[in-house]
Every structure is written in structure tokens, then in C-alpha cells.
A and B are shown apart, each in its own frame.
Chain A
Amino acid sequence: MNEDEKFFAWLDGELDPAAAAEMEAKVAADPALTRLAEQHRFLGAQLKGAFDPIVEAPVPEQLRTAVRPPAQVIDLVAARRVRSMPALAQWAAMAATLAVGVFVGTQVPRGGTAPVQVQGGKLYAAAALDQALDTELASTPTGDVRIGITYRDSAGEICRTFVAPAGSGVACNARGRWEMKGLFAAPEGQGGDYRMAAGMDPNLAALVDSTIAGEPLDATAEKAARDKGWR
């Protein structure tokens, strides 16, 4: 390592303590080196300042979905796609898309307990899920469905995230009904112990991030919103 390289290695904290002390003394004794050190520290800060906005900028949707291929999301487009199919085929398609049997598949036939239903090309919460979205507060989980956060989306509707044994999702209240905006299957192997799963499904978190207006409601606002019928 020549003296130039040693100087910069010192600046970057790459020298061992003895060599660093030696270089520090040398720089301190030489005004030109002291000035050079200052200039390079400033240059380093400018470089960081020039590139850091990229880290702080939102990651384009295209890149986020590259990490997680979007086949796991049911959205309106998917719902419209299945609208024209016979009812049973719809459920089969949905179960396949979700890749969870338990969430819909096994609960569908005639029992009236399926947590989602299709109507007019849209997906709505039903049965226990609908009830939980209507009545449950995040602080007081009761049944199998646990409410996560409640917020207003950019259209002004109240939306609530939920976790059920086989998956999680978000639904928004449109004229008194909970319209599903996204459903995500639980990671394999976590279906049974969903309460243990840490944090929100990243796909769900991304969906919430892209639709939320402002901050989630706090417990008081959540209760107030419930008392006003989620309007």
C-alpha cells in the first residue's frame, strides 16, 4: 500500500489501530493533508447525498412484483375474469388462484359459511369474515378472524385488514358491504398457527401502502368508525 492508499484507507477506517494513529499524526502535522482529508470527507457526503434519494424513493411496483410474482392476488380483474363461469367453477378457480383449500374450497358447498362471495363481478366478505369486519375491533379479537389495521383509502372508504386461519387480506366498506380488495394465502406450513406469524403478509402490506390515505385509525377512531357504520 503506497502512502496515497494508506491515507484513504485511514479516511475510510480501514487501517489497523497502530497504522491509523500514525496516519492521523501525519495528517494533523500537515495542513495540506488536513485540507485534503476535509475535501474528501465532504466529497463522500456529497456522493451519499446524491444517491440516497434513490433509496428513499418508493420502489416501482414492477420491481416489487418481480420479487413476488402476483399470481397470489385476487383483485377486481381476477374477479371479473371468473364472473362468467358457472358458480362451482368460480370457486374452483378462486381456490386454485388462492392455492388454499381450507380458506374457501372446503367451506364452499351450500353451507353458507364461505368467507367470501362473488356478486356482480366483485368479491364480498361473507359469514364469519363479514361479521368480524363489521363488529370486531383490533384490540378484542374473538373468533377465527383477527382484525389488523383500519384505515381510509384514497377513495375515502374505510378499509380493514384481517388474518384468517388460511390467509389474510383487506376489505373496504362500500355502501355497507365489505368488498375484498386483496386476498393472500398464508405461507405454506403457517396455516394452523397463524396467530404466531409475525407481521403482515408483505403482499398485503404493499397493497395497504399503495391505497392508504394518511395514517391508520387508532383504537378510539376505529371504535368511532364502527359506531357510525364504517362510513
Chain B
Amino acid sequence: MDHSSPFEDQLASLLPRLRRFAHALSRDAADADDLTQATVERALRSKAQWEPGTKLDSWCYRIMRNLWIDTARARSRKNAREAPEEEGLSVGEDPRPGIEAAVDLQRVMAAMSQLPDEQREVVALILVEGFGYREVSEMLGLPIGTVSSRLVRGRTALLAMVGEQ
């Protein structure tokens, strides 16, 4: 029995961050938790491929991103065509008028959900998750210049959608 090895402990402590990234990718709370669960299961099955000493978080983010591309991306594109998402996703923020901060967050979230997938994942990884450009380029298997240009386009589009302050 090996239920509290460093691997599982670290994986457990990554759960809140993985959920946050899953929300950014899938734009839906239920899908996000499904994606997180699938990521955890894949990570546990692939445990032998993780090299101790390397960063487990990048490794798990990469698994999550690849899983999402494999399964959910096709579906969410289809959904987006059929029913464009106006509201963004709710994370328990109360969007009642008068709670201005919550409305702002809602608006940012909604704007984020309208970004093209390849910009949204880069924006999420760098501006929300706090990874560096190089780390993200390795994680996504993209040249650093591509990461950088997607980030520019993504955040410029976000600013235009959220409205200049």
C-alpha cells in the first residue's frame, strides 16, 4: 500500500490549482471537475513516467491540457457553435448589481471564455497560473515566440472586451 507517498501528496496539493486551470480551459464548472478527475486518474496511471525531482505541476498541467484537447475541445467547439456562451462561468461570485467587484470578475470571466482556445490556454497559464514563458513553451510544445504572440493577442482581445478602465 502506497497511499501517502510523496507523489500522491503532491498531486493532492495541486488539486486546487488544477481545478482553476480546468475552469479556464473548459469554461464550465462540471466539465472542469470531470477534466480534473480525468487528469488525476491519468497522472496516477502514468506515475512511472514522472521523473522525481522534476516539477510535478508542469507535468500535470500538460496532462490536463492534452486530455482536454483529446476529448473536450471538439465538444466545446460544437457547443460554442450551437449556443454561444454569454455568461461565462460562475464560481460562486454573486453577480447582483451593486456588487461592482463581482460584476467585474464576471465580465472578465465571460471575456476569457470568448477567447480562442489557443489564446485562452496561454493567457491562463501565464497570467492566472503564473508560469513563465519558457515553462509554458515546454509544457505546450510550442516555440516561445508562438507563446509570446498568442499571449499578446489574447490579452489585447481581453482588454478590448472588458473595456478600457
Contact = CB atoms under 8 A, between A and B. Distances in A.
Contact of A68 (B8, B112, B123, B148): B8
Contacts of B8: 67-68, 202
Contacts, number: 124
Given A46-B108, A55-B16, 6 more contacts: A47-B123, A53-B92, A54-B16, A59-B19, A99-B1, A201-B4
B24 A40 contact: no
Contacts of B105: 46, 49-50
A48 interface: yes
Contacts of A72: 1, 3
Given A12-B126, A68-B12, A63 B40 contact: yes
Interface in B109-165: 109, 112, 123-124, 126-128, 132-133, 145, 148-149, 151-152, 155, 158-159, 162, 164-165
| Majority secondary structure, B binding face | helix
Give the 5 A-B CB pairs with smallest separation, nearest first. A50-B105, A54-B20, A55-B16, A66-B40, A50-B108
B141 to A, nearest CB: 19
A202 B9 contact: yes
Interface in B1-53: 1-5, 8-9, 11-12, 15-17, 19-20, 23-24, 33, 36-37, 40-41, 44
Interface residues of A, number: 41
Interface of A: 1, 4-5, 8-9, 12, 14, 39-40, 42-44, 46-57, 59-60, 62-64, 66-69, 72, 99, 185, 187-188, 201-203
A67 B11 CA distance: 7
Nearest to B29: A54
B85 interface: no
B100 interface: no
B122 to A, nearest CB: 11
Contacts of B20: 51-52, 54-55
A66 B41 contact: yes
Most buried by B among A1, A14, A49, A63: A63
| Majority secondary structure, A binding face | helix
Contact of B91 (A9, A54, A68): A54
20 contacts: A5-B149, A8-B148, A8-B151, A9-B133, A9-B148, A43-B159, A47-B123, A48-B128, A50-B109, A53-B93, A54-B16, A54-B91, A55-B16, A55-B20, A63-B19, A64-B15, A67-B40, A68-B4, A202-B4, A202-B9
